[in-house]
Amino acid sequence: MTCKASPDSYRVSETTLALRHDFSIEYETVAFDKKGIFYSKKTPKELLNERCIQSGVLLEGRIASAKVRLGIQHKVPLLVDPTQTS
């Protein structure tokens, strides 16, 4: 199912499965969600940072913390909101 919602209205949530950067004239990100596929003019980094800010932190802070705690530097997994559990 593809959703034609406003390209600026998508928000990362607990139903977000993946974000893929896309080099399209119309949008920057394809968001794969349990509710469908959405398109956004914002980059994946902008969408993730908006979600992190809702939790009171910056994306860069989450990444830096994960690097220190896990001892890795590349392809660091990101826990966007640790207060949300499945």
* Rounded CA separation 14/74 (Å): 24
> Rounded to two decimals, what is the model's pTM?
0.80
Check residue 4 and give its pLDDT: 57
Which residues lie across from 76 on neighbouring strands?
none
32: three-class secondary structure by DSSP = strand
Token pair for residue 40?
A: 């956004």
Residue 32: per-residue pLDDT: 94
* Burial track 56-76 (b if 16+ CB lie within 10 A, e otherwise): eeebeebeeeeeeeeeeeeee
Question: Are the C-beta atoms of residues 10 and 40 closer than 8 Å to each other?
Answer: yes
| Predicted confidence (pLDDT) per residue in 10-65, tens digit | 999 889 999 999 988 889 999 999 999 999 999 999 999 999 898 888 999 999 99
Element (H, E) at 69: helix 59-70
Q: What is the pLDDT of residue 28?
A: 92
